[in-house]
Amino acid sequence: MLPPHAPPSFSDRSTLWNSVEQTEKSNNSQLAREIELALPVELSREEQTRLVREYCSSQFVSKGMCADFNIHDTGSGNPHAHILLTMRPLDEKGAWAAKSKKEYVLDESGEKILLPSGRYKTRKIDLMDWNRQENADLWRKAWADMANDFLEQNGSAERIDHRSNAERGIDEIPTVHMGVAACQMEKKGIATEKGELNRNIQKANRLIREIRAQIGKLKEWLAGLLAERETAPEQPPKSSDLTSLLMKYLSVQREKSRKYSQSWQQQHAAAELKTIAQTVNYLSEHGISTLDELDAALSSVSGQADAIRVGMKAAEQRMKELQKLIENGENYIEEDIAFHTGVARCSGNKVVEQLVPLIDTAVMMFVNVTHRRLTEETIMTHRAVTDAIEEKDPMGAKSAMMMHMTFNRNMIKEMIKNKEK
């Protein structure tokens, strides 16, 4: 797609990009800007093409850029478009014009500043506003708006939001874009680094959603209990017996259900009673007997959810850094120590936290004694520990860590045995 004053020959992409390459003389020149767009699967191929064409026309070609786009779809549910944009404007005659100019930097007296090299200090001034950082947000918003218009016109309820999770108030970790190659490998059953990262992010997000849902459910219970306490005339103003309040709540629910069939009442009553019993057991196990204590516990759980999210982000980052060092054959002792230390501190166990220096020493000893021979086993068991923690599986985490220690112990035994021979 070309602006009005572009040479007609540029409609051939080979001619266009050969001309671009011939014009740029510097070795570090940027030849093009690439934009990748995920296309709504709800639209037909014809509509997807029209959407991309209108987007390029309004956002880029109208500003004087040449836009070359191509749509890729391997049938894996990931249709997308690649857009290449020229970086240099065209003049009225269709020739490439300058992208920027240099101007001298002046001192306080208005004099040019002489550098030790003998040259005068200059700075680059862009002649077009195409390189502004704000353009990224503007282009993303424009794409979302246009795509949503197309979706609405085609009767789809799906919508695109260009904002980040943080901007939308969504307390989740965003996944990364897979790309064509990674998607094809995953489809064939080959695990990729991006795929593994996304799977771990999704696990962490499920855990966060589960905790938030539990908090929401408990708060609903709390609201119901407070309402019953306010409306019951015989209720003492400051009753703090949660068990009694729960049983009264159950009685009220039974009265409300009398308008339904007998079988429904029995089934509903059994479910309510089971929930009450589980709640009472939970309150008893955690030493919660008053509404104030319950509210404090809910606040604590909310804080724990935030801590898990932060802790899992840090653990995942350490895991990736450690794996990269191991695979590259580099010294990974510091990252290995950081991983074990992070797990110990995330446990919330004060005794374990006091053992961190001992854990650090043990890690260093194991790595040095085994001469870094257990690289694959280390990656596998560290990943298993991280996955188990994300899934709130204490037995799984314990088993993975025991396996990790067993690998090291067996390696040391084998080394001692060989040395004795």
Cβ(64)–Cβ(3) below 8 Å: yes
In tens, the pLDDT along 104-129 reads: 988 888 888 888 888 888 888 888 88
More confident residue, 420 or 131: 131
* Per-residue confidence (pLDDT) for residue 86, from 0 to 100: 93
Is 179 inside a domain boundary?
no
Is the model's pLDDT at 181 over the cut of 80?
no
Q: What share of the chain in percent tops pLDDT 70?
A: 56
Mean pLDDT of 63-88: 89
Is residue 191 assigned to a domain? no
**Span 221-230, mean pLDDT?**
64
pLDDT of amino acid 397: 74
Domain shared by 36 and 54, yes or no: yes
407-416 burial, b at 16+ Cβ within 10 Å, e below that, comes to: bbeebeeeee
Tens of pLDDT along 26-66?
Answer: 777 788 999 989 899 999 999 999 999 999 999 999 999 99
The answer to whether residue 165 is domain-embedded is no
Report phi then psi at 231, rounded to 5.
-90, -20
Please indicate, yes or no, whether residues 35 and 140 belong to a single structural domain of this protein. Answer: yes
Same domain, 219 and 349: no
Look up tokens 């001298």; give the residue. 104
Using pLDDT thresholds of 50, 70 and 90, give the confidence band for residue 198: confident
Residue 59 dihedral angles phi and psi, to the nearest 5°: -95, -25
Mean pLDDT of 156-181: 73
Count of domains for the chain: 3
pLDDT tier, 1 (very low <50, low <70, confident <90, very high otherwise): very high
Mean pLDDT calculated for residue range 355-363: 72
Indicate the pLDDT class of residue 202, thresholds 50, 70 and 90: confident
pLDDT over 50 (residue 238): no
Residue 176 lies inside a defined structural domain of this protein: no
Question: What mean pLDDT is reported for the chain?
Answer: 75
Residues 289 and 312 grouped into a single domain: no
The answer to whether the CB of 130 falls within 8 A of the CB of 146 is no
Same domain, 287 and 405: no
pLDDT at 176: 65
Question: What is the reported pLDDT for 163?
Answer: 81
Token representation of residue 136: 């990224």
Which helix (H) or strand (E) segment is 324 a member of? helix 291-327
The answer, yes or no, to whether residue 145 has pLDDT greater than 60, is: yes
* Residues 137, 19 within the same domain: yes
Query: HSE (CB half, 13 Å, CA atoms) of 43?
Result: 26
Tell whether 399 and 320 lie within a shared domain.
yes
CATH code for the domain in which residue 12 is found: 3.30.930.30
Do 14 and 149 share a domain, yes or no?
yes
| Domain coverage including residue 85 | 8-93+133-153
Identity of the highest mean pLDDT range in 145-149, 188-192, 245-249, 287-291: 145-149
402 sits in the region (left: phi over 0; alpha: psi -120 to 50; else beta) called alpha
Q: Per-residue pLDDT averaged across 60-77, rounded? A: 88
How long, in residues, is the chain?
421
Could you give the CA distance from residue 393 to residue 33 in angstroms, rounded to a whole number? 46
Q: Looking at the structure, do residues 292 and 312 belong to the same domain, yes or no? A: no
CB 314 within 8 A of CB 342: yes
- 139 and 16 housed in the same domain: yes
Neighbours of 196 (CB within 10 A): 17
Does residue 109 form part of some domain?
A: no
> With 60 as the cut, is the pLDDT of residue 327 above it?
no
**Same domain, yes or no, for 141 and 253?**
no
Evaluate whether residue 198 is within a structural domain: no
